[in-house]
Structure 1
Amino acid sequence: MSKKSELLFIKSKVFGPLYYHNVYSFYDEPLIFNALNEFGQLFFCYALGCDEKDDRWIVVPISEQNANKLEQKDMPILSAIKQSANSSVLVIKTSLESGKQDEEYVAAKKLPYRLPTDKVFIRENVNYDGKRAHTHRIRIAKNNNAQIVSGILNKASEAFGEFCQGYLKKFDLSTKFFPQDAITGSFVYRVKADNAKQLKLEGYEILSKISVKDDFLAALDEREVDLRTVRKLFDLLLSNDLKIQLIDEESTETIIELSAEYVEDLIKEVDERLGSYLDSSMVPQADNLDTLRRYLMLIEKYGYVTATALKVVDRQVSYYRDACRSLSLTHNYSKLTPVGTAALTSETDAEFVKIIQRQFEETECGHIWMINQGVDSIIKIDENSAAEFLIENCNGLSDNTSRRRAQTLKSWVKKFKLHS
Structure 2
Amino acid sequence: MISAVAFFLLMIIGVPLAFVLGIATLLYVFSTGNLVVLQSLPSKLFNGLQNFGLVAIPMFILLGEIMNHGGITNRLIEFAKVIFGQLRGGLAYVNVVANMFLVSIIGSANAQTAVMSRVVVPAMEKEGYSRDFSTALTASASIMGPLIPPSMPFIIYGVTAGVSIGSLFLSGIIPGVLFGVAFALYIYLIAKKKNFPKSERVSWSEALKATSYVLPALTIPILVMVGITSGVFTATESAAVAAFLAFIVGAFFYRELKWRHLPDILLRTIITTSTVTFLLATSNIFGWVLNFERIPQMITNAFLYLADNQFVFLLLVNLLLLIVGMFLEGVAALILLTPILLPAATKFGVDPVHLGAIMVINLTMGLLTPPVGTVLFIASATAQVKIERLVRSLIPFLVISLAILLLITYVPWTTQWIPSMFAPQ
TM-score scaled by structure 1? Answer: 0.20
The structure whose Rg is larger is 1
Query: Higher relative CO (CA 8 A, sep ≥ 6), structure 1 or 2?
Result: 2
TM-score by length of 2: 0.20
